[in-house]
Amino acid sequence: MKKRRLWMQLVMFALIVGLVLSGCNKYNQESSTPAKNNGKQNTGNQTDAEKPKDKDVFNFATNQDIPHLDPHGTAANTSFRVTYMLYDRLVTYDGTTTEIKPQLAEKWEVTPDGKTYTFFLRKDAKFHDGTPVTTEAVQYSFTRAMKLKKSAAGIFEGIVDDKSFEIVDANTIKIHLKKPFGPFVKSLGTVYGNIVNPKLKEHEGKDNGESYLASNEMGSGPYTLATWDRGQKLVLKANDSYWGGAPTMKTVNILIVPEPSTARLMLEKGELDQLDDTMISPDVLNQMDGKNGVEVVKSPGYQIDDLSMNMTKKPLDNKLVRQALAHAVNYDSIIKDVLLGGAERVNGIVPKGMFGYNDKATLYDYDLDKAKDLLKQAGYEKGFDLEIVISENNEVRKNIAVMLQSDLAKIGVKLNIKTLAWPTFLDTVTNGKHQLALAAWTPDYADPDYNLWYFAHSSSKGPGFNLAFYDNKKVDQLLQEARVSVDDAQRDADYKEVQAIMADEAPYIFVAQRKVQVAKKTWVKGFEINPMNTWYVPFQKMTKE
């Protein structure tokens, strides 16, 4: 009896083990990465789990909140991504080119002196309420943006005013410049150029409609605003009567996913179609690429990671201190260990590959002895404390900040890192409440005027994104001279001189010029990266296959 009982126990144990192992195998098959052949990903036919569940709905994730939606009043890229879908401009940037293309304006003419531009509007464009887009809307939008004096409005300081617009008829408008402005048409493709329905007058109140457009829209773009649960999700619905053709994606969900690890898992499981290019660090992107139906699209870009040194704060008002900090940064280590080679050194805010780039401007090398000597000359050989602010949920900036902390400690500078929510970060830096601020910059049009005017002209301090609060009369003069010139050789010389002056005075530390890397599902087709507008996602022409 004992032997029989023992034998029965052994049989039952074997059955249980078999069931458990079978269950484990099933679980592993369902949760592991797709099967591989000879160490390579299986790229054969998609299984049901690898196919998009709804081809008309696009799920996009970012970990930075959207401050507001006024197209003339925000400087946040997270807002630009939405407003560029809600509004049209006279001209636009599309695809991978940095050349302008017609949008609301079918064509334009310019007088030989470069002071009068005539734009001819297409006649089939309508705002979302069915109202035709006319030259009245163009005039209203530009004068409104100038009144707000926010976002990109500073570009046109002294170039146009409320008397510059001459309406010829409903579809023809002349814009008379007070003086020539070389990149004028290029600049109209920026956020400043978004055309708003003049019916906004009904909601203007005392703030030119800012509070209304903060959470509402009055555009003519390929999408309309459906719902917005702040901090959670913003939903765009296709404008099927759009003059440019009905968008391919009928619904676009822009989700705020604070944790990059959560966003990664959601993408791998197919709950998301694409991630914001700022969400995932390069090392994790390398791990993701080619697995679980994810591909990482890579492209050259004009994005530059920069460290603004607020010159109104001691000891950053001292040029020698700023130069010392610039020499204390181990740039090669950041590029190798944080950016994993996905970047290169750059000596200013004008990116390599753009007209006007000065390759002769000083490029600060990593030299701790030089840094210590400069601090000694400045009277700070005993060191000091500094605070750097960064936006939350950005792994790359967090890692760069940690490396900067380590680097500066070697010259006696204690760097305290303060992480802020994106809206709070913007408020802090544009109001000059920071000492150091780590951010990134991508131009909206391919001309040095855009980068240098924002970073270097005294009129751009704070809200204009001169976050170093840099003020140099010679630089102002050169930038103004280059703006009104129609001589490209003269403009090139002016911009190169500005970069040389800035390199010496070091109001900023330029960490690196980055390549663009975007994680998406392989089923997403039609996505293109523009080297300037890296945050621009052309939802209206993308598909899921």
Residue 56: inside a domain? no
Last residue of a domain, one of 213, 248, 265: 213
Last residue of a domain, one of 154, 189, 213: 213
Of 302, 304, 362, 295, which is closest to residue 529 (Cα–Cα)?
302
pLDDT of residue 31: 29
Residue identified by tokens 């949760």 is 31
CA 196 vs CA 74, 75, 132, 219, 540: distances in Å: 14, 17, 11, 5, 20
CATH number at residue 407: 3.10.105.10
Q: In what order do the strands lie in the sheet with 116-121?
A: 105-110, 116-121, 172-176, 165-169
- Residue 77, number of CB atoms within 10 A of its CB: 21
Q: In which element (H, E) is residue 186 found? A: helix 184-187
Of 391, 395, 439, 387, which is closest to residue 419 (Cα–Cα)?
391
d(CA 135, CA 464): 27
Are 252 and 148 part of one and the same domain? no
Residue 67: inside a domain? no
pTM: 0.74
CB 126 within 8 A of CB 133: yes
CA 166 vs CA 75, 158, 161, 162, 170: distances in Å: 29, 18, 12, 10, 11
Are 478 and 329 part of one and the same domain? yes
d(CA 520, CA 276): 9
Q: Which domain holds residue 167?
A: 88-213
CA 274 vs CA 421, 520, 544: distances in Å: 22, 4, 11
Residue 8: inside a domain? no
d(CA 265, CA 270): 9
Residue 28: inside a domain? no
Residue 38: inside a domain? no
Residue 309: inside a domain? yes
Are 289 and 328 part of one and the same domain? no
Residue 405 dihedral angles phi and psi, to the nearest 5°: -60, -45
Of 177, 32, 36, 55, which is closest to residue 525 (Cα–Cα)?
55
Of 481, 492, 506, which is closest to residue 447 (Cα–Cα)?
492
d(CA 454, CA 457): 6
CATH number at residue 528: 3.40.190.10
Last residue of a domain, one of 185, 213, 241: 213
Are 332 and 457 part of one and the same domain? yes
Are 354 and 477 part of one and the same domain? yes
Residue 436: inside a domain? yes
pLDDT of residue 50: 72
Are 233 and 200 part of one and the same domain? no
CA-CA-CA-CA dihedral for 436, 439, 440, 444, to nearest 10? -100
CA pseudo-torsion sign 350, 352, 353, 358: positive
Task: State which amino acid sits at residue 201.
Answer: K
d(CA 138, CA 150): 18
Q: What is the DSSP letter of 275?
A: E
Are 397 and 424 part of one and the same domain? yes
d(CA 16, CA 519): 43
**315 upstream amide cis, omega within 30 of 0:** yes
Q: Burial of 240 by CB count in 10 Å (0-12 exposed, 13-18 middle, 19+ buried)? A: exposed
Are 237 and 132 part of one and the same domain? no
Residue 72: inside a domain? no
Are 426 and 520 part of one and the same domain? no
CA 57 to the chain's CA centroid: 23
Strands 223-229 vs 172-176: parallel, antiparallel or unpaired: unpaired
Q: Which residues contact 379 (CB under 8 A, 6 or more apart)?
A: none
Are 358 and 507 part of one and the same domain? yes
Secondary structure in 3-state letters for 372-431: HHHHHHHCCCCCEEEEEEEECCCHHHHHHHHHHHHHHHCCCEEEEEEEECHHHHHHHHHC
Are 422 and 328 part of one and the same domain? yes
Total domains in the fold of the chain: 3
Taking only Cα atoms into account, the Rg of the chain, rounded to an integer number of angstroms, comes to 27
pLDDT of residue 261: 93
Of 40, 38, 51, 33, which is closest to residue 524 (Cα–Cα)?
51
| Binned average pLDDT, 10 residues per bin, the chain of 545 residues | 39 38 31 33 47 93 91 84 96 87 97 94 98 98 88 75 96 96 88 92 93 96 97 97 97 95 96 92 91 93 94 97 98 94 93 92 96 97 96 88 97 97 92 96 86 93 92 96 87 96 98 93 94 86 96
Task: State which amino acid sits at residue 492.
Answer: D
Are 311 and 295 part of one and the same domain? no
Q: Which residues contact 299 (CB under 8 A, 6 or more apart)?
A: 96, 515, 516, 529, 531
Q: Report the SS3 class of residue 470.
A: coil
Residue 58 dihedral angles phi and psi, to the nearest 5°: -115, 125
Of 439, 399, 353, which is closest to residue 96 (Cα–Cα)?
353
Strands 294-299 vs 516-521: parallel, antiparallel or unpaired: antiparallel
